[in-house]
A and B are shown apart, each in its own frame.
Chain A
Amino acid sequence: MTRKQKRLTLIGFAGLVLAVAVGLVLFALNDRITFFTSPTDLAQGKVKPGTRLRLGGLVEDGSIKRGDGTVVRFRVTDGVNAVPVTYTGILPDLFREGQGTVAEGMIGADGEFKADTVLAKHDENYMPKEVADALKQSGHWQEEAAKATPKK
């Protein structure tokens, strides 16, 4: 091989790898991502049943009902609309009524959201950003009551 051929082989191969990587990324971005929605988006029928989504909001007070075994039902609200959710499994440690949560799954034709993953916050002050934004939008955001922090 001449110098030029060697260089061309290298550049050609690099281009090929790059093209494959770009193709994979474009395909995956089309197909393998989940959109974040609020209960209001769902109520307005913006989402087709059977699409994978993340639903964020507050767990409605008094809405947690346990079924057989580890089945649990609750409602996720953004203050305007609420969506019933069913989930089978163990809820995260910090999942509580009145607190923020993100449920991942699909909305059924009956309007019930079937979650396969439920996330809560990592510590008691943390609120998922998407949830905070959704609450701000619906006007239900309350700045945390001034914490009992001594003056500096």
Chain B
Amino acid sequence: MIVEVGHFALVLALALALVQSVVPIWGAVRGDARAMALAGPISGGQFLFVAISFAALTWAHVVSDFSVVNVFENSHSTKPMIYKISGVWGNHEGSMLLWVAILALFGALVAWFGRNLPRTLRANVLGVQAWVAVAFYLFVLLTSNPFARFAEPPMEGRDLNPLLQDFGLAVHPPLLYLGYVGFSIAFSFAAAALIEGRIDAAWARWVRPWTLAAWVFLTLGIAMGSYWAYYELGWGGWWFWDPVENASLLPWLAGTALLHSAIVMEKRDGLKIWTILLAILAFSLSLLGTFLVRSGVLTSVHAFATDPARGVFILGILMLFVGGSLTLFAARAATLTKGGLFAPISREGSLVFNNLFLTAATATVFIGTLYPLALEAVTGGKISVGAPFFDMTFGPLMVPLLIALPVGPFLAWKRGDIAAVAQRLAVVLVLSIAATLVTWAIRGHAVLPALGVGLATWLMLGSLAEIAFRIKLFSQPAGALRRAVGLPRSAWGTMLGHFGVGVMLLGIVAESAWKIEQVLVMKPGDHVRIERFDVAFERSVPNSGPNWDEVIARFRVSDGTSNPPVIMEPSKRSYRTRSMPTTETAIETWGLFSQLYLAIGEAQGDGVAMRIYWKPLVLLIWIGTLIMSIGGVVSLTDRRLRVGAPTPRKAAAMALPAAAE
């Protein structure tokens, strides 16, 4: 009964979305205030019904109602409760329901926080948001119904793919979807602006917090997925340039560009048309990601089921929205007034530089991801585009961007003085060169890693230097603390975001250049030395869990000092229902950021094949992304960006330079 309520609630949500997709926009055209105001309550109702629907499916999973096909295929009565819940979105149908639930949540939030938006803009935004919602409700109801039942219910379920029975993967999809779907807000605002043919700095002030929030979630979601791949797959890698990973990186790159171009629009009323295009692009790439991952075009752990009807349906949605929005863009972009010009060396110029390189990098990832699919469709030839391609294309495009990154925030708006910036960054440059030389000298005279460490130092110190100069830390240390407190939160956010990039780069450089890998067969009693560690295999111990059995290999690891040895226990697990083996790695962190990583393979006689990795500073990769996300959150708390609450004084101050153009 509850399951049927869930199904019915989803149909009701579709009905509400249909009303919301027409009435407010019609009201905006006719100037009918009541029709426009309807958008608010309807989007609230839509979210309510989708939430009921989602709760119903969750309930079916929690009580293991195997008469529901979705529960039968992805659950088992002995599965731990946390994975019964995460199993709701650990499959195609449920994850699409999560997708629409988050879409409805964002719609309701825009309606709630947007009460003081201009009336027509709010009506148009919520109308466009409902178009997207209608398309995806239809997709779920027509091709991916999670509420289908069996006539003769089975007694036991098939269990969830063991790789997905993991905490990392319990939180990865919701975070990623919050990011993907969050860009729909920027998209709806862009479409609404094009429909109205009017756009101003206030528009950017509205769009930026939503974009920033989506970007924070997407950053965390990608980082979570990467960490999961690192510890769960047992290959020790953290990024494989796999098409499904690229599918999430594409909207991230476009979103990062959007975040920066919206600053120019907000502060200088410039780059309007470009910002609109990026907003359309970021969401289009999110839809593309959904298509690639959900259609079965790519086979991976994400492709739960391949059903051609679904692929065609999502492709239809993709073409409708990308094609429709670009047509609207082509027709209306010319009506938007152009912003003021600026000298090439200026804050605007640096943000354009950022956008050029980010979009060029997005394009290379796009080509690398889609070219094999296109080639196969056209010629039938099969190729694989992997890390070597991206190292050759994405890598070189990132280098100028990262070198220029610390310079940008130092430049003044309109016309910057590069000599003055060079003077301010001179100390940072000297320190970075010193870091390069020291690394080169003590790390075996390798050039590239040394340059990488130098670049990371440049990024980290450069972002700190900007704050130091703004609060006059060295010139007038007396009032520095007071000035630091008075600094806008967005300045701290920028610093943290850029600092995080440096930290991540340091982790990437150290991990790629100095990791040590050993693959060998060990018998009980064997010792092996790796870096400064002595790894001793003691014995194998059988063990069992709620829905799996495992063989644990017990290792005693000492780090060559008087510290007590550490016990590490990687295991080989076999899940009973699917009789599928998985590798459970053992990871031990040393000195805050470096990790020793053990993974065992198949048994060979009385020994066991195993991988041992020493991963120097590897944790910095994810700590860096975490710092970037924290930067985003800090920026969100800036008073200027607080949704709907720009102080009149600041709003007036911002209008002045725009008027002076």
B-contacting residues of A (Cβ < 8 Å)? 1, 3, 6-7, 9-10, 13-14, 17-18, 20-21, 24-25, 27-29, 31-36, 54, 66, 69-70, 88-91, 93-94, 104, 122-124, 126-130, 133, 150-152
Are A29 and B382 in contact, with the CB atoms below 8 A? no
- Contact partner of B299 among A9, A33, A126, CB < 8 A? A126
In the assembled complex, the CB of B537 is this many whole angstroms from the nearest CB of chain A, namely 15
* A34 cross-chain contacts in B, Cβ below 8 A: 383-384, 386
Tell yes or no: B357 within 8 A of A by CB. yes
- Contact partner of A151 among B151, B363, B388, B393, CB < 8 A? B151
Asked whether A3 and B341 contact (CB < 8 A) given A14-B356, A150-B154, the answer is: yes
* B142 cross-chain contacts in A, Cβ below 8 A: none
* B150 cross-chain contacts in A, Cβ below 8 A: 150-152
Asked whether A124 and B580 contact (CB < 8 A) given A7-B341, A25-B364, A129-B299, the answer is: yes
Are A36 and B383 in contact, with the CB atoms below 8 A? yes
How many A-B contacts if CB must be within 8 Å? Answer: 133
The residue among A1, A21, A29, A94 with the most chain B CB atoms within 10 A of its own CB is: A21
Contact pattern, B 91-103, Cβ under 8 Å of A = 1, otherwise 0: 0000000000000
- Contact partner of A90 among B356, B393, B519, CB < 8 A? B519
Asked whether A24 and B519 contact (CB < 8 A) given A6-B343, A34-B383, A34-B384, the answer is: no
Contact pattern, B 137-174, Cβ under 8 Å of A = 1, otherwise 0: 00000000000111111100000010100000000000
- Contact partner of B578 among A20, A31, A32, A124, CB < 8 A? A124
Are B519 and A89 in contact, with the CB atoms below 8 A? yes
Q: How far is the CA of A90 from the CA of B602 in the complex (A)?
A: 8
Tell yes or no: B653 within 8 A of A by CB. no
In the assembled complex, the CB of B535 is this many whole angstroms from the nearest CB of chain A, namely 16
* A88 cross-chain contacts in B, Cβ below 8 A: 519
Tell yes or no: B595 within 8 A of A by CB. no
* A93 cross-chain contacts in B, Cβ below 8 A: 234, 580-583
Tell yes or no: B610 within 8 A of A by CB. yes
Q: How far is the CA of A28 from the CA of B388 in the complex (A)?
A: 8
In the assembled complex, the CB of A123 is this many whole angstroms from the nearest CB of chain B, namely 5
Are B601 and A91 in contact, with the CB atoms below 8 A? yes
Q: How far is the CA of A54 from the CA of B392 in the complex (A)?
A: 20
Can you name the residue of chain B whose Cβ is closest to the Cβ of A122? B301
Can you name the residue of chain B whose Cβ is closest to the Cβ of A12? B344
Top 7 A-B residue pairs of the complex, sorted by shortest distance between their CB atoms: A90-B601, A36-B382, A32-B388, A28-B392, A21-B360, A122-B301, A32-B389
In the assembled complex, the CB of A64 is this many whole angstroms from the nearest CB of chain B, namely 10
* B154 cross-chain contacts in A, Cβ below 8 A: 150
24 A-B residue pairings within 8 Å (CB atoms): A3-B341, A6-B341, A6-B342, A13-B344, A13-B353, A14-B356, A18-B360, A21-B360, A21-B363, A25-B393, A28-B388, A29-B371, A31-B392, A35-B381, A70-B521, A89-B519, A89-B611, A90-B609, A90-B611, A91-B602, A94-B581, A123-B161, A150-B151, A152-B69
Tell yes or no: B423 within 8 A of A by CB. no
Q: How far is the CA of A129 from the CA of B306 in the complex (A)?
A: 11
Q: How far is the CA of A88 from the CA of B517 in the complex (A)?
A: 13
Tell yes or no: B224 within 8 A of A by CB. no
- Contact partner of A123 among B371, B580, B610, CB < 8 A? B580
Can you name the residue of chain A whose Cβ is closest to the Cβ of B66? A150
Can you name the residue of chain B whose Cβ is closest to the Cβ of A128? B299
Interface of B is mostly: mixed
- Contact partner of B367 among A1, A25, A90, CB < 8 A? A25
* B153 cross-chain contacts in A, Cβ below 8 A: 150
Are A10 and B383 in contact, with the CB atoms below 8 A? no
Are B393 and A54 in contact, with the CB atoms below 8 A? no
Q: Within B383-401, which residues are at the interface with A (CB < 8 Å)?
A: 383-386, 388-389, 391-393, 396-397
* A151 cross-chain contacts in B, Cβ below 8 A: 150-152
Are A69 and B521 in contact, with the CB atoms below 8 A? yes
* A17 cross-chain contacts in B, Cβ below 8 A: 356-357, 360
Q: How far is the CA of A135 from the CA of B386 in the complex (A)?
A: 24
The residue among A7, A89, A128 with the most chain B CB atoms within 10 A of its own CB is: A89
Can you name the residue of chain B whose Cβ is closest to the Cβ of A21? B360
Q: How far is the CA of A14 from the CA of B358 in the complex (A)?
A: 12
* A32 cross-chain contacts in B, Cβ below 8 A: 385, 388-389, 391-392
Q: How far is the CA of A7 from the CA of B344 in the complex (A)?
A: 9
Q: How far is the CA of A133 from the CA of B601 in the complex (A)?
A: 29
Q: How far is the CA of A87 from the CA of B581 in the complex (A)?
A: 21
* B599 cross-chain contacts in A, Cβ below 8 A: 90
* A31 cross-chain contacts in B, Cβ below 8 A: 392
Can you name the residue of chain A whose Cβ is closest to the Cβ of B371? A29
In the assembled complex, the CB of B354 is this many whole angstroms from the nearest CB of chain A, namely 11
Q: How far is the CA of A72 from the CA of B205 in the complex (A)?
A: 60
- Contact partner of B344 among A10, A21, A33, CB < 8 A? A10
* A3 cross-chain contacts in B, Cβ below 8 A: 341
Contact pattern, B 581-614, Cβ under 8 Å of A = 1, otherwise 0: 1110000000000000001011010000111000
Contact pattern, B 334-371, Cβ under 8 Å of A = 1, otherwise 0: 00000001111000000011001100110110011001
- Contact partner of B163 among A33, A91, A122, A130, CB < 8 A? A122
Q: How far is the CA of A23 from the CA of B119 in the complex (A)?
A: 48
* B521 cross-chain contacts in A, Cβ below 8 A: 69-70
Are B301 and A21 in contact, with the CB atoms below 8 A? no
* B371 cross-chain contacts in A, Cβ below 8 A: 29
Q: How far is the CA of A35 from the CA of B512 in the complex (A)?
A: 26
Contact pattern, B 500-522, Cβ under 8 Å of A = 1, otherwise 0: 00000000000000000001110
Q: How far is the CA of A91 from the CA of B344 in the complex (A)?
A: 54
In the assembled complex, the CB of B70 is this many whole angstroms from the nearest CB of chain A, namely 12
Asked whether A152 and B397 contact (CB < 8 A) given A122-B300, A123-B578, A130-B382, the answer is: no
Are A29 and B389 in contact, with the CB atoms below 8 A? yes
* A6 cross-chain contacts in B, Cβ below 8 A: 341-344
Q: How far is the CA of A122 from the CA of B160 in the complex (A)?
A: 13
Can you name the residue of chain A whose Cβ is closest to the Cβ of B607? A69
Are A33 and B384 in contact, with the CB atoms below 8 A? yes
Q: How far is the CA of A152 from the CA of B69 in the complex (A)?
A: 8
* A18 cross-chain contacts in B, Cβ below 8 A: 360
Asked whether A150 and B152 contact (CB < 8 A) given A13-B344, A25-B393, A36-B384, the answer is: yes
* A126 cross-chain contacts in B, Cβ below 8 A: 299, 303
* B163 cross-chain contacts in A, Cβ below 8 A: 122-123
* B602 cross-chain contacts in A, Cβ below 8 A: 90-91
* B341 cross-chain contacts in A, Cβ below 8 A: 3, 6-7
* A24 cross-chain contacts in B, Cβ below 8 A: 364, 392-393, 396-397
Can you name the residue of chain A whose Cβ is closest to the Cβ of B393? A24
Q: How far is the CA of A130 from the CA of B161 in the complex (A)?
A: 22
- Contact partner of B610 among A1, A10, A90, CB < 8 A? A90
Can you name the residue of chain A whose Cβ is closest to the Cβ of B521? A69
The residue among B382, B386, B580 with the most chain A CB atoms within 10 A of its own CB is: B382
Q: Besides the contacts A69-B520, A152-B150, what 17 more A-B pairs have beta carbons closer than 8 Å?
A: A14-B356, A17-B360, A21-B393, A27-B392, A28-B392, A32-B391, A70-B520, A70-B609, A93-B580, A93-B582, A123-B163, A124-B579, A127-B299, A150-B150, A150-B152, A151-B150, A152-B151
